[in-house]
Amino acid sequence: VTSSVCKLWHFLGKTGEELLHEVAGRYVEAMKDMEGRKPGPSSILGTFYLKNDLKFAVWKDRCAAVMCSIRYPKPDQLLSLVAVAVETGRMTHPHPTGFLGAVASALFASYAVQRRPMTTWGLGLINEACPVARTIIQGRGFAVDETERDWGYFCDKWQWYLDLRGLSNGVGPLLWPPSYGPAERDEAYKSFSLSGWAGRSGHDAPMIALDALLGAGSDWEELMNRAAFHGGDSDSTAVIAACCWGLLYGTNGVPEGNYSNLEYRDRLERCAEQLYALSH
């Protein structure tokens, strides 16, 4: 893996660095459009440092940037997917519990494109993507010691979740509580979390999203009941779940009012078309 990662960064070369500089610039530009919105505190602080061209090491747990990439959707593009997710994620969320959430979001989006069985997504995250991410961090040589110190929590918590749902083998059968209504889900999601605020961190936002996807299947209303209507950081969990659900099912069963008058719709569609062209 180490050899492959070195070859990857050699291949990306100037183009890779230009991409990261472009993303950093876009983060800064996007902060000008936050009036009436609520960006996370780590995003605000991280973007401040990007804007002022400062190196920073703010080691806090926050919800990872939800940048679900379909730029690298194929199984043989895993290295590129993880490399870009790691570096774009830790621009604003340098703690591993944060930027690994960006890896999880991008990975699950690629799995949705691949039509990979959803019961294998969590296992793929900790067995395939996380080791690659760790090697990338070591190879890049930035904040290696701090990252190594705090690395274990993310993977340990995901293993705990897979055991809880009977997915440690990637097959199932899925294990659900006998009653799993709104009140029970709120308590369950708190147990996923770092400090009782469900979906706040990079590990549990994609975890709750996956839990919702597994439980809802192709039912949009049920997905929203599980991913969007809970007492935690529900916008973060809903956007990850909805991204993956849309890649799987499109707008089938989604009320037209949920997508007919989207802000920046033209820009979103243009971006999607360009990503599709690049990935093919």
For the domain 2-279, what is the CATH code?
1.10.4080.10
Mark the binding-site residues, compressed into ranges: 233, 235-236
Amino acid making up residue 162: L
pLDDT at 93: 75
- Give the pLDDT means over successive 10-residue stretches in the chain (280 positions): 50 57 70 74 66 45 39 87 86 85 93 95 97 90 89 96 96 94 97 91 95 97 97 92 94 93 89 80
Half-sphere exposure of 162 (CA within 13 A, CB side): 22
Per-residue model confidence (pLDDT) at position 29: 74
- The CA distances from residue 125 to 46, 119, 122, in Å, are 25, 11, 5
What pLDDT is stored for residue 51 in this prediction? 62
> According to DSSP H, which parts of 141-264 are helical?
144-149, 152-164, 182-192, 204-216, 220-227, 234-249
**Residues in the annotated binding site for Mg(2+):** 233, 235-236
> Which residues does 158 contact at the CB level (< 8 Å), separation at least 6?
122, 125, 126, 203, 207
Calpha distance 63→240 (Å, rounded): 12
Here the tokens at position 182 are 């709104």
Distances (CA, A) of 47 to 44, 55, 90, 141, 208: 5, 11, 11, 22, 26
Cis status of the peptide bond prior to 173, with omega within 30 of 0: yes
Supply the pLDDT for residue 94. Answer: 82
pLDDT at position 234, please? Answer: 93
Tell me the whole-structure pTM to 2 decimals.
0.83
Both tokens assigned to 216: 């809802």
Residue 31, pLDDT score: 73
Is the dihedral angle over the CA atoms 129, 133, 134, 138 positive or is it negative?
Answer: positive
Count other C-beta atoms under 10 Å from residue 45's C-beta: 16
How far is it, in rounded angstroms, from Cα 246 to Cα 255? 13
